[in-house]
Amino acid sequence: MTAVRGHLTQLDFHQEFRKWEYPPPDRLFDAPVQTIYPNDMKNIAQNIENQARQADILYIWTDCDREGEHIGSEIREAARKGKRNIQIFRARFSNIERAHILSAARRPVALDDRQAEAVAARIELDLRIGSAFTRFLTLSLRPLGGAMADLLLSYGSCQFPTLGFVVDRYFRVRNFVPEPFWSIKVMHEKEGVKVNFNWSRNRLFDRLAVLLFYERCLAAKIAKVTDVKEKQTKKWKPLPLTTVELQKMATRFLRMTGQEAMTVAEKLYNKGFISYPRTETDRFDKGMNLRALVQKQTQDQRWGPFAQNLVDGAFQQPRQGRNDDKAHPPIHPITYAAPTVLDDQEKRLYEFVVRRFLACCSEDARGATTDVDITYGEEKFVAHGLIVHQRNYLDVYPYENWTGTAELPRFTVGEMFEPTEAMMTEGKTTAPSYLTEADLIALMDANGIGTDATMAQHIEKIKERQYVQVVERGGNGGGGNDEDDGAAGGARGGRG
């Protein structure tokens, strides 16, 4: 048994095409390329070749996605250098539960060459397009001198559309012109409770029209209750944790960038405390023993009592999301990690992963809502009340909130009253905020820019290139992305 650490090979141009000054950038679109082993991968490839000489069968257990299939094909080629006729099988698995691993070992399949070739095609496109446009941009702007003289202006197939998100938001903020609007608010005090009724029109941008509606309300004097709706409601517990969600939550609540979160998660994974942190899956396999994982968390002083309550009978199966990459389960704790064995960042991230997992295994929060509709001078208003009866998962998951309001007094349909207060209010529209890193990751995910495993790297790359800067809230904020452009070097796997 042996291992690899990602892609073994790298695609690069022949030596005569690696100079920036000549040939011109457009020649890179049809220049010959070669597959090589980078220096840091030569020993690994040699090890596979040596191991193959002593074996008759090779089982490949790489990730069951396109990247894993391509890595598997690289392993196959290295093994065949050691023994041309070695038998090669591929194991299909999505988690490391014992029964699942045994099942995968008993039912091996062949490598999917179509998936591997798709990745190879993408790697070649990234190399050719990234290198050609990076050289073109850099060489075209370098004669301007100044800051441009020594600046590398890179192009990546993920960088420009993502940079477009940042630029679009920037101009929306800079070009924003506030508009005045007016609204009507009604308040009525009953049984010692002040009940605020919101106008069904919300707001209008015509002051005279709002003034007319407001005067009609005052002239009517009396408001009438037209409907009272009471119903049970709930706040759904979170879905199992994916890489994208981990990065978004880390930037919002853990004071980390997406790249920092992934680095810390990798450390926790390598130490055996959490599962593999690069996954698009938001549903657990039905065969996983989740109760056993909950049991391991009962010893913690912070969330241990909550975990024990789940073990004692409150355990609920997690929600089933729509995404399953067939390669890895959602991110979850593997075993308990005492605070003394973790550094500060690891503590915060591990705590989040555990609390998210326990929340997934709990019940939805439950409550009751009351909506009271009134008509006042032919205008409609509504008051909303929420009472939280059972917090359930919220007791262990402080990253979400569901705050109840004061219980509304009893209203009955047909009831008439003179509002305690009616006001015509004025305000102005506000500009959208600059993008946060969490916003940018969400836009990248929604538009298929990069992968869950590379989004944070793209954002860091665009910061390094000085295309954007990150500032504290209240100023310009933003982020971007970029795939390694391969302008001076080759391209490995990793979607761009």
162 bridge partner residues: none
CA dihedral for 88, 94, 99, 103, sign (positive or negative)? negative
In this structure, what DSSP letter does residue 311 have?
I
- Read off φ and ψ for residue 195, nearest 5 degrees: -105, 120
Q: One-letter amino acid identity for 337?
A: A
- How many Cβ atoms sit within 10 Å of the Cβ of residue 257? 19
Is there a cis peptide before residue 305, judged by omega within 30 degrees of 0?
no
> Sign (positive/negative) of CA torsion 123, 125, 128, 130?
negative
- In sequence order, the 6+-apart residues with CB closer than 8 A to the CB of 445 are 244, 452, 455
Task: Record the tokens describing residue 91, joined without a space.
Answer: 């194991």
CA distance 305 to 350: 18
In the beta sheet, which residues pair with residue 13? 33
Q: Which residues contact 169 (CB under 8 A, 6 or more apart)?
A: 432, 434, 435, 478
Active site residue 376: no
Look-up of token digits 């590398």 = 152
Element containing residue 259 per DSSP (H, E): helix 258-270
- Please list the residues that pair with 367 across neighbouring strands: 233, 388
List 276, 376, 393, 434, catalytic entry: 276
The residues that are catalytic are: 276
